[in-house]
């Protein structure tokens, strides 16, 4: 298990390194002079040159990569020209809103998807199953921002939206203020989680081991939760990992609708103001979160399913055997040469 975690951490570091490189390259490849774009077309050449020097744009690509990575390593994501503050400060302020909104939406997805999937799977293709699936698929077809507007119309209020953005972030208040944007995101992502779990439950229920458990006299709830549900968790958790990543991206638009001062709102403001450093910082952070979520999903799956543990063990074993063979072959070759 420890070896697996270490391997996964190394994988995560490599992935993050590649992401940082891509984000860096992306902003390097933007056509035109970033300093000119940031200052606008009316800025003088001297002003542009001064900004270029300040941002280090006049230096060679290798120096720029080195500076970028060393700054990042020291927790320095640059300086926002739009807000005239360090990017890290702005992100630290905005992050709790987005994090809370995403986790709140994720909570809604879990508490809605599990009972709905169990209900739908009870009698596949029944009226109830079809109703649940059609409803959730309809929600999937509606973009989160439009879902938010529908919810506002249903509950005949926009008060909550304004409240969400105007108050300081505190947990007690947040649960009350953020339920609507969280539900809007959750409803649009619910279908995927629900259908993954439903299909998995139906598949597991047909297995002989379920019949064996029933024949042993296990109660319906024991069969469902102790056998079927636990075995259905791996595909469900994998789907949840993907959904959580989508929930973060979904919150970008929702924050605009509900005026929530989170990362999404900051990102839109940064893009509008051509604030490259802030944009870069937020894009990186969202990518880190997605990678970290996937890392957690892998660990949870490894923990709950012995088949995955065994598979990884075999993989290590075969790899070790392969390296051992290579080593032995190398020794033999060197002996022959002697």
Residues of this chain that interact with another protein (CB under 8 A) are 207-209, 211-220, 222, 227, 230-231, 304-307, 310
Contact partners, residue 240, CB within 8 Å, separation at least 6 = 106, 109, 110, 193, 297
Output 71 or 310, the one with its CB closest to another protein: 310
Q: 169 φ, ψ to 5°?
A: -75, 115
Residue 168 or 208: which CB sits closer to another protein? 208
| Pick 173 or 212: Cβ nearer another protein | 212
The span from the CA of 260 to the CA of 250, in Å, is 13
CA distances (Å), 320 to each of 66, 315, 328, 330, in order? 35, 8, 12, 15
CA distances from 336 to 97, 128, 322 (A): 67, 74, 21
In angstroms, rounded to a whole number, what is the distance separating the alpha carbons of residues 13 and 295? 11
Q: How far is the CB of 19 from another protein (least distance, A)?
A: 34
Q: How far is the CB of 210 from another protein (least distance, A)?
A: 8
What's the rounded Cα separation, in Å, for the pair 145 and 156? 16
Find all residues with CB under 8 Å of 12, minimum gap 6, and list them.
291, 292, 295
The nearest distance, CB 220 to another protein, in angstroms, is: 8
Rounded to a whole number of angstroms, the minimum distance from the CB of residue 277 to another protein is: 48
What per-residue string of b and e applies to 164-174 under the rule 16 or more CB within 10 Å gives b? beeeebeeeeb
Exposed/middle/buried for residue 195 (C-beta within 10 Å: 0-12, 13-18, 19+): buried
Between 82 and 122, CB nearer to another protein = 122
Q: How far is the CB of 307 from another protein (least distance, A)?
A: 6
State in angstroms the smallest separation of the CB of 133 from another protein. 21
Specify the residue, 221 or 334, whose C-beta has the smaller distance to another protein: 221
Residue 111 beta carbon to another protein: minimum distance, rounded to whole angstroms: 24
Min dist CB 226 to another protein, Å, is 8
Cβ proximity to another protein, 188 vs 204, nearer residue: 204
Nearer Cβ to another protein (129/275): 129
Task: Output 108 or 229, the one with its CB closest to another protein.
Answer: 229
Q: Is there a contact between 225 and 235 (Cβ–Cβ < 8 Å)?
A: no
CA distances 16 to 42, 69, 223, 303, Å, are: 38, 12, 42, 24
């Amino acid at each position: 298990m420890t070896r697996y975690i270490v391997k996964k951490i190394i994988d995560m570091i490599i992935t993050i390194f590649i992401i940082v490189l891509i984000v860096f390259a992306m902003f390097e490849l933007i056509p035109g002079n970033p300093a000119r774009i940031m200052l606008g077309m009316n800025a003088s050449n001297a002003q542009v040159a001064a900004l270029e020097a300040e941002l280090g744009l006049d230096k060679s690509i290798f120096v720029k990569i080195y500076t970028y990575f060393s700054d990042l390593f020291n927790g320095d994501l640059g300086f926002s020209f739009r807000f005239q503050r360090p990017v890290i400060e702005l992100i630290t302020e905005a992050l709790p809103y987005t994090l809370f909104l995403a986790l709140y939406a994720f909570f809604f997805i879990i508490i809605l998807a599990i009972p709905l999937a169990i209900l739908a799977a009870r009698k596949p293709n029944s009226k109830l199953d079809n109703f649940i699936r059609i409803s959730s698929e309809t929600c999937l077809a509606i973009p989160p921002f439009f879902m938010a507007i529908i919810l506002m119309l249903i509950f005949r209020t926009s008060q909550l939206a304004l409240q969400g953005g105007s108050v300081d972030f505190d947990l007690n208040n947040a649960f009350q203020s953020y339920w609507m944007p969280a539900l809007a995101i959750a409803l649009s992502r619910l279908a995927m989680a629900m259908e993954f779990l439903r299909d998995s439950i139906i598949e597991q229920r047909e297995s002989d081991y379920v019949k064996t458990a029933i024949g042993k006299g296990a109660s319906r709830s024991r069969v469902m939760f102790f056998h079927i549900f636990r075995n259905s968790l791996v595909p469900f958790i994998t789907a949840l990992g993907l959904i959580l990543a989508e929930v973060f991206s979904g919150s970008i638009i929702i924050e605009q609708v509900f005026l929530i001062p989170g990362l999404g709102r900051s990102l839109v403001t940064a893009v509008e103001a051509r604030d490259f450093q802030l944009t870069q910082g937020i894009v990186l952070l969202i990518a880190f979160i997605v990678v970290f979520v996937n890392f957690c999903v892998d660990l949870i799956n490894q923990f709950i399913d012995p088949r995955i543990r065994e598979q990884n063990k075999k993989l290590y074993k075969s790899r070790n055997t392969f390296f051992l063979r290579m080593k032995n072959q190398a020794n033999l070759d060197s002996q022959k040469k002697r």
